[in-house]
Amino acid sequence: MNQLKIQKAFAKLGEELSRLPEEWNDVISMASHKNGWFTPDNSRYALKHWSEILTVNNLVKLAPKNHLQKSPKNIGIVMAGNIPLVGFHDFVCVLLSGNKAVIKLSSDDEILIQHLLKKLQTILPGIDEFWEIKERLNDIDAVIATGSNNTSRYFEYYFRNIPHLIRKNRTSVAVIQHKISDNDLKLLGEDVFRYFGLGCRNVGKLFLPTGFDLTRILDHLMPYSFVLDHHKYANNYTYHRAIYLLNQTPHLDTGFLLLKEDEAVNSPLGALFYSFYNSQEALQKSIKEKESNIQCVIGNVDLCQGVVPFGFSQKPKLTDFADHINTFTFLQNLK
C-alpha cells in the first residue's frame, strides 16, 4: 500500500467528519460517559477541527513523497487522553512515514480513537495492517510518548535503549497589549477555556503591559462562566480557591476562575496566572527563560516565530508539532 492511497484515505476520513454521520452521536455520547471531561461539545469541536485539516494538500505538506521511510519500523505510540483525539496526530505521522503504529491507547480517549480507526478500515480495506493496539509496547523500534513530567521520567528510562520522542507538561501563554481589541479579548476566552483548559495549547498565563486594566479581561471572560456547571471543573476551582484563602494568597475571584499574579506559567486548573512587563525586551527575556514549559504564544505581536492569533490555540495546523519537534522528521530519520 503506497503513501498516496493512505493520504487519500485520511482525506476521505476528513470529508466524513465534516458531515459527521448520525452514528457518531452514540460514539460521542459513549466517550462522554467514559470520560466526563469529554463533553459532547468538546468532542464535536475536536472532530470538526480534524475534518478541516485532513485534506490532501495538508497531508502532502506534512509528508512529501521523498520523505518515506524505506525500511519500515514498528513505532510505539503512548497516547495521552487529556483532550479529545490528542494522540491522533502521531498516528497520522507514523502511517504517512511508511511505518507501523503500535498503539498504547489512553483509557481516557479510547472510544473516539478506535472509532476513527474503524472508519479508516472501511474507507481503505487492508490499512489496518499498519497498526496494532497493545497494552504493553514490546518489540518496537522507536517510541513517541506523551505524558506528565513524572511519567516522562519513567518513559525516558523505560525506552532508553531505542530512539524516543518524549513529551512533558507544557502550557501556553497570551501576550496582551494596551491596544488589544475587545474582540481579541473575547477570543482569549476560547484559548483559556476550550477543553476546560486541559490542553497544552490552552492559555495558563497572561503577560500584561504595566498599568493594564485587568477588569477589561474579566469582563470578556464572563461569557465562559458556564464552565462552573461542569462538576469536575467546579471541584478544581473550589479546591484551589480554598487553598488560596487558607494561605491568604492574594488573588482575584470571578466566581468561576481565579486570577493570581505569578511569574510561573503552569497555572492549576481553575486558575490563570498573570504578570506585568514594562518593555518588549523584558517580555522576550521572560518568555525565553520559560520556553521549555511553553507550547504556544498567543497574541497579535511579532514577538517570536509561530505566534498564534487569539481564538486559534486549539486549532493547530497539521504541520504544527507538539513541543516544537517535527514528529515526521524524527520518523523519517530513523535508521
Confirm whether 244 is domain-assigned.
yes
Residue 189 lies in a domain: yes
Would residue 65 count as lying in a domain?
yes
Report whether pLDDT(188) > 90: yes
Per the prediction, the chain carries an average pLDDT of: 94
Residue 198 has pLDDT above 60, yes or no: yes
Do 90 and 228 share a domain, yes or no?
no
Q: Are residues 84 and 38 in the same domain?
A: yes
Q: Report residue 244's pLDDT band, with 50, 70 and 90 as the boundaries.
A: very high
150: number of CA atoms within 13 Å, CB side?
A: 0
Q: How confident is the model at residue 72 (pLDDT cuts 50, 70, 90)?
A: confident
Q: Which three cell numbers stand for residue 13?
A: 476520513
**CB 107 within 8 Å of CB 100:** no
User: Do 233 and 91 have their domain in common?
Assistant: no
> What's the confidence (pLDDT) of residue 150?
86
Instruction: Band the pLDDT of 333: cuts 50, 70, 90.
Output: confident
Kindly state whether residue 310 falls inside one of the protein's structural domains. no
CA distance 309 to 315: 10
The CATH number of the domain holding residue 9 is 3.40.605.10
pLDDT digits (tens, 9 = 90+) for 271-281: 999 999 999 99
User: Which of 169, 189, 222 represents a domain boundary (last residue)?
Assistant: 169
Give me the number of domains the chain comprises. 2
66 & 201 share domain: no
Q: What confidence tens digit (pLDDT) does each residue in 105-118 have?
A: 999 999 999 999 99
Are 89 and 200 in a shared domain? no
**Together in a domain, 242 and 197:** yes
Question: How far is 117 from 318, CA to CA, in rounded Å?
Answer: 18
- Same domain membership, residue 210 and residue 153: no
Q: Are residues 294 and 244 in the same domain?
A: yes
Residue 88 and residue 39 share a domain: yes
- The per-residue b/e assignment along 239-271, b for 16 or more CB within 10 angstroms, e otherwise, is ebbeebeeeeeebeebebbbbbebeebebbbbb
pLDDT at 67 > cutoff 60 = no
Contacts of 229 (CB under 8 A, 6+ apart): none
Task: Give Cα 192 to chain centroid, integer Å.
Answer: 13
Q: Is residue 95 part of a domain?
A: yes
Residues pairing with 144 in the sheet: 77, 165
The three-class DSSP label of residue 331 is helix
- 165 and 225 in a single domain? The answer is no
Structural domain harbouring 141: 3-169
- 163 and 195: one domain? no
Query: What pLDDT does residue 165 have?
Result: 96
pLDDT band at 70 (very low <50, low <70, confident <90, very high): low
Q: Of 127, 151, 169, which closes a domain?
A: 169
Do 140 and 7 share a structural domain?
yes
Q: What is the pLDDT of residues 116-175, one digit of tens each?
A: 999 999 999 999 999 999 999 989 999 999 988 888 888 999 999 999 999 989 999 999
Helix (H) / strand (E) containing 103? strand 100-104
* pLDDT at residue number 292: 92
Query: Does the residue 304 lie in any domain?
Result: no
